[in-house]
Structure 1
Amino acid sequence: MSSIQPVSSGSGSEDPQYVMVDDRKKRRMLSNRESARRSRMKKQKHLDELINQVVQLQRENNEIVQRVDTTTTCYINVESENNILRTQMMELSDRLQSLNNVLHIIEDVSGFSMDIPEIPDPLLKPWQLPCPSQPIMASSNMFLY
């Protein structure tokens, strides 16, 4: 470290005022260097914390994306199964309607009174099942996602 020294007069003795200013300059320079060093260290520490936070947030984001993908897959599977069940229900309703029509014709032709149940419309009363004696099977893991 080089220090700046005032140019001395030709007599060989230094002026005390210059020495005092020089000492203050040296102390201020050292203080400024130390302050700059602390500032750089603080800035580096903050940068390291931000980098760690970014890594943690990316990890959490990846986990959330995986859960969303899993949930979406489950939703697609359930929706597909629902579509199949709706189609089957429509087919069975059509068959039942056809059989009821045949029974009505037989009733009209034969003259015998038959007990022909009404076919419930699932769109009007979706909470009423067409076959109340049939239990609904569900698994405990269907609501995990």
Structure 2
Amino acid sequence: MIMSSSPGGSHSSGSSTAQISISGSDEQQMKSDLRQRKRKVSNRESARRSRMRKQNHLDGLLTQASQISKDNSCILANLNVIRQMCINVEGENSVLRAQMDELTHRLNSLNEIIGCLNQIDNYGNAVVDQMMMMKTMNGDDLFNPWNLMYLNQSVCAGNMVMY
């Protein structure tokens, strides 16, 4: 039998050399298995962190969507309030326009009366006739207290001035 030397300085037989080389192969296999297990653990940890990041991102998006929905509801409520205010203002504008038209009509009537009064001669007959004619033409009640602006002006009746 041939003896060979081992790295440890002892002599062993040929069958022990084969055993050492097998155990070297086992050691490499064990190192490979260890690296593979570490890689699997690392991959699992990386996948877990990735899932956590995705979940956190999803939670953030859901929170953001909820906040946007609340903001949208507030904006819609404000819009409805503003629409109602606009409708109210439009109604008030319609009333004011109608009042303006009525007051414009009254002002025109009063200006006509003043014009007629300024055109009369010294005899009072023309004033009374013109006032009665305007009353029947316009359908306005000239003797309504709101239409009596002409009372502050003098009316000539013959040679007598009346207030």
Q: TM-score range by the shorter chain?
A: 0.5 to 0.7
Deviation (angstroms), 1:111: 5.4
Please report the RMSD computed on the Cα atoms of aligned residues, expressed in angstroms: 1.9
Larger Rg: 2
Give the aligned partner of residue 107 of structure 1: 118
Q: Structure 1: which 5+ runs fail to align?
A: 1-10, 113-145
Higher strand proportion, which one?
2
Give the aligned partner of residue 78 of structure 2: 67
1:89 and 2:100 correspond = yes
Structure 1 residue ranges (4+ consecutive) displaced by more than 4 angstroms after TM superposition: 11-14
- Relative to the length of structure 1, the TM-score reads 0.64
* Identical positions, percent: 43
Pairs within 5 Å for 1:1-145: 13=23, 15-110=26-121
Q: Deviations over 1:38-73 (max 9, x none)?
A: 110111011011101100110011001101110111
Higher helix proportion, which one?
2
Q: Distance in 2 between matches of 1:95 and 1:42?
A: 78
Q: Distance in 2 between matches of 1:16 and 1:62?
A: 68
> Which protein, 1 or 2, shows the higher relative CO under an 8 Å CA cutoff with sep ≥ 6?
1
- Relative to the length of structure 2, the TM-score reads 0.58
